Amino acid sequence: MLIHIPNVLTAEDVALCRQKLDAAEWVDGRATAGDQSAKVKHNLQVPEDSPTARELGDMVLRGLARSPLFSSATLPLRVYPPMFNRYDVGMTFNTHVDNAIRSVSGTRMRTDVSSTLFLSAPEEYDGGELVIEDTYGAQAVKLPAGDMIVYPSTSLHRVNPVTRGSRWGSFFWTQSMIDDDRQRRLLFEMDMAIIQARMVLPDDHVSVLGLTSCYHNLMRMWCKM
């Protein structure tokens, strides 16, 4: 399930991010890659324990907290601290799958959902599309600055080579309360149906109550915490 989440960051937030990142230290992105990924990864990253990464990561987390769509799509239990990368001309990240487990402050978390938040406008660079393999084939993603795509971490994906300009972004993972992507998809679609029903029906209408009851009882059945 690929979900486009618009306006995670405002234009002002994006401008501040770009200003801070422009002055930041950048290192080889392979520092945080697994054995397989390191062989196909060619980009730059801000060290994840740097003050800049932590400050901007908190900004991204605040943006997520303002987004009901992110909550509905991922049903988050834990969110890995956002990291920041860039792809200059010639840089790429060939086809790979994300590591299943990450460690946060000594606590292990499962990576169920991957997120890429775009910090460069599409017209600033050529190439650099995020290409995700899903059940409908390869989906190429290139979003406005401040927008984000979320997709299952089980998906094979790549970043096409940048041929002009520079592509900047933030990326991170979410451990969901629902570890099965098919179940998350059904709950997301049901949540969207509930929202649409409440636009035209009173909250105490039998259809709204029935859908809401099913949603929460499925959460009880499938939730892993």
- We find that the CATH architecture of domain 3-176 is Sandwich (2.60)
Q: Beta strand 130-134 with 157-159: parallel, antiparallel or unpaired? A: antiparallel
Residue 178 per-residue DSSP state: S
Which pTM does this prediction carry?
A: 0.94
**Residue boundaries of the structural domains of the chain:** 3-176, 181-222
Closest CA to 142 of 131, 151, 132, 129: 129
Phi and psi at 165, nearest 5°, equal 80, -155
Closest CA to 43 of 154, 174, 170: 170
pLDDT at 109: 97
**129-168 tens-digit pLDDT:** 999 998 778 999 999 999 999 999 999 999 999 999 999 9
Q: What is the mean pLDDT of the chain?
A: 95
pLDDT at 159: 98
pLDDT at 192: 97
Residue partners of 114: CB distance under 8 A and separation at least 6: 98, 150, 151, 152, 153, 155, 157, 171, 172, 173
Give the residue ranges of the chain where pLDDT is below 50.
none
Q: Is the dihedral of CA 17, 7, 91, 15 positive or negative?
A: negative
pLDDT at 225: 79
pLDDT at 34: 65
pLDDT at 31: 76
Three-state DSSP at 183 gives helix
**Dihedral over alpha carbons 225, 109, 184, 219 (to 10 degrees):** 10
